């Protein structure tokens, strides 16, 4: 849990507005792709005659439409929640539901609304809701909990509530739109949300399994590096044992053998460290996607939730692996075998009386030349 929190907090550098150098507040996205606090961008453009991106200096002939980056907002809210929460053990996999905005009564504009009428397309406080509760004329009106996005729930073509969700076109439609979508399969937005929540939960579960596997493999590679070092030390001792009989004669050859072992050790360590960095990057990318998915689940607005899209990173489709590393290269094995052969040859030479060693040496030299 603490590791996930630290990973989220480590994203603060990527979620900082380049104007105020603080974490984004109401982030908006320019057509060039850069993000800024809406307030910071308004001030920056107010103080400068030219409309340009403060980061890449791309000029705009007219003020572009500033669209709120809902995904980035959700990530920022998640980081703020995790950094200020004292119960971090419960904030890893449980999405944080956002508190709904306060909806005011559309009649008096002062008191908080208690109900929204989907027929009148207006919200009412307790006082102004009485006609709906007491007058039989309003009996057929559909009341629901206060909603603040009524205009977004209205079909702009037929001015009716979007009660259905078209599966083929992935969009919310009204009852009149059903005629144009008569050959499509449709359901309710709530049912589609439940399906999408199930899909995202599956994606989160897959990401968590991949992260766990990556962490296990990285631990295995760490252990493998220690074993590789132990193996190298053991082989050095064995090589030294063989060469101690002929130290004065083949010291340079012995040093070459040791360097060969070190080269294999360095090569193995380099490969393991490179793979470890790659797996760390994979874990970071999957953790970022996990944060985005958790942020998407935290949205209270079903419409924006359904319109959002988050894809799994490419590395989440593959299982990590831990390669086998050792120092059994051809060069190291050849040095080790030659040390044994030289020791046996020296034992044979030294076992012969001194007056016969020269002739034995000449015979060995003729064999080597042939």
Q: Write out pLDDT tens, residues 316-336.
A: 888 888 888 888 888 888 888
State the pLDDT at residue 159. 65
DSSP single-letter state for residue 55: T
pLDDT at 341 exceeding the cut of 60: yes
Q: Write out pLDDT tens, residues 170-197.
A: 888 887 787 778 788 878 777 877 888 8
Are 162 and 154 a contacting pair, CB within 8 Å?
yes
pTM, full prediction: 0.33
What's the whole-number mean pLDDT along residues 19-38?
A: 82
What is the spatial distance between Cα 28 and Cα 68, in angstroms, rounded to a whole number?
A: 4
Q: Write out pLDDT tens, residues 210-222.
A: 888 888 888 888 8
What is the spatial distance between Cα 23 and Cα 75, in angstroms, rounded to a whole number?
A: 11
Q: Write out pLDDT tens, residues 76-127.
A: 777 776 666 544 444 444 444 445 567 888 888 888 888 888 777 788 998 8
Report CA 302 to chain centroid distance, whole Å.
Answer: 24
State the pLDDT at residue 90. 44
State the pLDDT at residue 354. 66
What is the spatial distance between Cα 17 and Cα 76, in angstroms, rounded to a whole number?
A: 11
Q: Write out pLDDT tens, residues 40-64.
A: 888 878 767 678 887 887 888 888 8
Task: Grade residue 246 by pLDDT with cuts at 50, 70 and 90.
Answer: low
Percent of the chain with pLDDT over 90: 6
DSSP single-letter state for residue 19: T
CA distances from 197 to 153, 204, 343 (A): 20, 10, 72
State the pLDDT at residue 91. 44
What's the whole-number mean pLDDT along residues 17-43?
A: 82
Task: Grade residue 281 by pLDDT with cuts at 50, 70 and 90.
Answer: very high
Indicate the domain borders of the chain.
Answer: 2-90, 190-369
Q: Write out pLDDT tens, residues 142-166.
A: 788 887 766 667 777 776 777 788 8
Q: Do β-strands 171-173 and 164-166 pair in parallel, antiparallel, or remain unpaired?
A: antiparallel
Percent of the chain with pLDDT over 70: 84
- DSSP helix/strand/coil, 68: strand
The CATH H-level superfamily of 2-90 is Zinc/RING finger domain, C3HC4 (zinc finger) (3.30.40.10)
Q: What is the mean pLDDT of the chain?
A: 79
Cα radius of gyration rounded to whole Å, the chain = 36
Are 76 and 15 a contacting pair, CB within 8 Å?
yes
Are 331 and 231 a contacting pair, CB within 8 Å?
no
170 sits in the region (left: phi over 0; alpha: psi -120 to 50; else beta) called: left
Residue 12, CA atoms < 13 Å, CB-side half-sphere: 12
């Amino acid at each position: 849990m603490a590791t996930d929190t630290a990973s989220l907090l480590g994203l603060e550098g990527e979620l900082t507005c380049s104007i105020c150098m603080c974490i984004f507040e109401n982030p908006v996205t320019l057509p060039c792709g850069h993000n800024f606090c809406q307030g910071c961008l308004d001030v920056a453009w107010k103080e400068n005659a030219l409309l340009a991106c403060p980061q890449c200096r791309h000029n705009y002939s007219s003020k572009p439409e500033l669209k709120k980056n809902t995904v980035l907002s959700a990530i920022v809210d998640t980081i703020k929640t995790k950094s200020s929460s004292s119960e971090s053990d419960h904030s890893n996999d449980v999405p944080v539901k956002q508190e709904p905005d306060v909806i005011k009564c559309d009649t008096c504009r002062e008191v908080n609304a208690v109900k929204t009428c989907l027929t009148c397309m207006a919200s009412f406080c307790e006082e102004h809701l009485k006609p709906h509760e007491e007058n039989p004329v309003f009996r057929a009106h559909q009341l629901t909990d206060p909603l603040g996005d009524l205009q977004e729930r209205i079909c702009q073509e037929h001015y009716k509530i979007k009660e259905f969700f078209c599966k083929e076109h992935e969009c919310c439609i009204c009852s009149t739109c059903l005629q144009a979508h008569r050959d499509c399969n449709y359901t309710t937005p709530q049912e589609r949300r439940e399906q999408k929540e199930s899909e995202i939960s599956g994606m989160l579960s897959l990401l968590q399994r991949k992260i766990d596997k990556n962490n296990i493999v990285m631990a295995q590679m760490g252990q493998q590096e220690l074993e590789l070092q132990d193996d190298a030390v053991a082989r050095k001792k064995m090589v030294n044992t063989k060469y101690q009989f002929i130290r004065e004669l083949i010291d340079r050859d012995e040093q070459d053998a040791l360097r060969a072992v070190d080269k294999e050790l360095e090569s193995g360590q380099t490969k393991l460290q490179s793979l470890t960095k790659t797996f760390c990057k994979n874990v970071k990318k999957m953790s970022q996607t996990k944060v985005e998915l958790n942020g998407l689940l935290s949205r209270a607005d079903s419409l924006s939730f359904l319109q959002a899209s988050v894809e799994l990173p490419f590395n989440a489709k593959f299982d990590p692996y831990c390669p086998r590393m050792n120092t059994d290269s051809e060069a190291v094995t050849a040095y080790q075998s030659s040390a044994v052969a030289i020791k046996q040859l020296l034992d044979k030479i030294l076992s012969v009386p001194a007056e016969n060693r020269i002739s034995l040496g000449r015979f060995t030299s003729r064999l080597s030349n042939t």
